[in-house]
Structure 1
Amino acid sequence: MALSTRTASSAPCKAASKARCFSSIRPSVRAATRCHVVANACKPSDAEAGVTIARREALLASIALPLLMQQSAQADAEYNKFFGMASPPTSYGGYGGNANESPKYTFEYPAGWKQEVPSKVEKGTQGIDGRVVNPRSKDQRAFVITLTRAGEDNARFQLTDTESTFASFAGADYDLQDALSDATNTEKSESEKEGIKFFNYKIDSPAYVYLSSIAVKDGKVFALFVRSPSRLYGAAANDLQHIVDTFKLL
């Protein structure tokens, strides 16, 4: 009985001792202990943490992907399209002539270049229908001349004769005649686009390099000229050639 009594009475004593022991701990230590317990209770498991990270990465990807696609599209947009109307001087008064007309020709030019509207005088006396220029060097440009009468079998312009052909357009660009006279190299070739024959030229001279593509449709001559100072040609050769390669009649 005595042993039993001592055993029963020792349990409350131990519990009381623990309570007294805990109460003797400084309040700041008790608070830290409780925070530690709560933090551990709220801490997610490894599996839950993995799901959270995966969701966060998916969210970031959904935001980043459209931005990357937009940047890629902007990087691909290296050229703009030019559409020319080939309007007569009497109706030319502004860009593109009559807005109700359908375009007669097109080409692609570097996205950094700017369209420059020819004046009615340039259209009437020189035949310049459309022009784009490099704002960093306005001496680097592309322009199209349209003339309404080609003559039968292109005889008037003799498109197979480089010098005679270019002489017909020299009034639109006075440096062209000098480039022909001082040429160090002249190349010519022919190509066909949608059943229309194009006569292509390249003239190298000390001052300028000229690229050109000339064709006839419905009795009208369409002549694209791309010019560049010789010192700038090498760095821009691909872009300048792209203008010529994309020139076509509609």
Structure 2
Amino acid sequence: MALATKLRVPQASAQRRAAPVAPRSRVSVVTRASASQSESASHMGRRDLFMAAAGVGMVTLSSGIALPVHAEGEYETFLGYATPPTSYGGYGGNANEKPRYTFEYPTGWKSETPNKVEKGTQGIDGRVVNPRAKDQRAFLVTLTRAGEDNKSFRLTDLDSTLNGFAGADYQLQDSLAASTNRTTSSRDIGGLTFYDYDIESPDYRYLVTITVADGKVFALFVRSPNKSFGANEAKLRHIIDTFRLI
């Protein structure tokens, strides 16, 4: 679940403090800017460092995990909480809870707050949608059946893994059955293994990344109609590439 307020970028003196926690039932939006290549960057405020755009760099989360940085205004940041269904749809929840995951999505996309049914029966924790093409979207699913040894959720078996998420997206199962090409890979980030899937089918293209932490599965799906995937591929892959647990 997410938030939709603008966060102030802290000054350099506050860099060591934990990232601010956004209000519940909204999307926390942070506009990313390019990092400076100046040797005097250590003497600049964090906002000044972001605004001194001189090329693609890295920005580090409070957890110490780095994210790519791009031109100001190009992407916004989604913060999700992975809380129980009773906290969704604007009901319940603890305002002091900290975000559990983050990813960046294209500016102009809109966040949608999942309701209790979507969270409780489909596991959908957060969602962003392209308002110009609503079939193009990203959504995060959380499940608690992984087991801390990961054995009860076989992330290396693409079919069994993704079929377990079919209830969250009615197009997914059809795309898996009719897929024309599939690729898999894995990455190690912040001590966690992220399993990446790229699924091509006649109608849809899915980019997926999944990881497990503390017995909970976190799966980020990016869905796009084939006809619009090519023109938006870089931005769609950016959503996957910037997914991190906090």
The normalised TM-score by structure 1 is 0.69
Structure 1 residue aligned with 2:126:
130
**Structure holding more helix per residue:** 1
Aligned counterpart in structure 2 of residue 186 of structure 1, from 182, 186, 191:
182
Is this contact kept in 2: 1:186–1:204, CA < 8 A? yes
Instruction: Name which one, 1 or 2, has greater alpha-carbon Rg.
Output: 1
* Alignment correspondent of 2:48: none
Q: Give a deviation string over 1:120-139, Cα, whole Å, max 9, x none.
A: 10000000000000000110
- Provide the rounded CA distance (Å) in 2 between the counterparts of 1:117 and 1:91: 11
Select which of 91, 94, 97 maps to 1:98. Answer: 94
Secondary structure of the corresponding residue to residue 137 of structure 1: coil
User: What SS does structure 2 have at the residue aligned with 1:139?
Assistant: coil
Mapped contact 1:206–1:230 kept (Cα < 8 A): yes
CA distance in structure 1 between the partners assigned to 2:94 and 2:126 by the alignment: 14
Percent identical across equivalent pairs? Answer: 64
- In 2, the alpha carbon distance for the partners of 1:80 and 1:201 equals 23
The answer to whether the 8 A contact 2:88-2:114 is kept is no
Out of 112, 116, 119, the position equivalent to 2:115 is 119
**Matched residue type, 2:113:** V
Whole-angstrom CA distance in 1 between matches of 2:242 and 2:93:
22
Q: Secondary structure at the match of 2:161?
A: helix
1:215 aligns with 2:220: no
| Aligned residue in 2 for 1:230 | 226
Deviations for 1:187-212, whole angstroms, at most 9, x for unmatched residues? 00000111110000000001000000
What is the aligned length?
181
**Higher RCO, Cα 8 Å, sep 6+:** 2
Are residue 168 (structure 1) and residue 164 (structure 2) matched? Answer: yes
Partner of 1:244: 240
In structure 2, distance between residues paired with 1:152 and 1:219: 4
Q: Which has the higher strand share?
A: 2
Instruction: Return the TM-score normalized by structure 2.
Output: 0.70
> Gaps (5+ residues) in structure 2?
1-50, 55-69
